[in-house]
Amino acid sequence: MYLIFRCDCGRVLYAKKGVATRKCTCGKTIKVKSRRILAKAETAQDASYAVQKMQEEIYGGTMFKTAEQFKEDKFLNRLDKKMKEL
């Protein structure tokens, strides 16, 4: 059995039932027990498919970023802002 839930960053994730924590691609470690369960799936393939569908509904696609990419984009956005101010 697999549990499907969301991270604080908005990504939909899944974890095997009984697992204590799950690490999101944004870098945050999530306590599975404290999350609201959105859905359940019998197999990992079913859970993966459900996550993909939920991500598509929310964001229109499944373009994930790693924590490093997220930080880099944030830095570049700040830099662009500063350059516009000058």
φ, ψ at 68 (rounded to 5°): -65, -40
Residue pLDDT tens, the chain, 86 long: 999 999 988 889 999 999 999 999 889 999 999 999 999 999 999 999 999 888 888 777 556 666 677 677 777 777 777 777 76
Q: Are 22 and 30 in contact (CB under 8 A)?
A: yes
Rounded to the nearest 10 degrees, how much is the dihedral formed by the CA atoms of 25, 30, 36, 38?
30
Predicted TM-score (pTM) of this structure: 0.65
Output the pLDDT for position 19: 94
Is the CATH code 3.90.820.10 the one for domain 2-85?
A: yes
Rounded Cα–Cα distance for residues 42 and 46 (Å): 7
Token pair of 49, please?
């498919």
Token pair of 34, please?
């404290």
Output the pLDDT for position 6: 92
Output the pLDDT for position 5: 94
φ, ψ at 85 (rounded to 5°): -70, -30
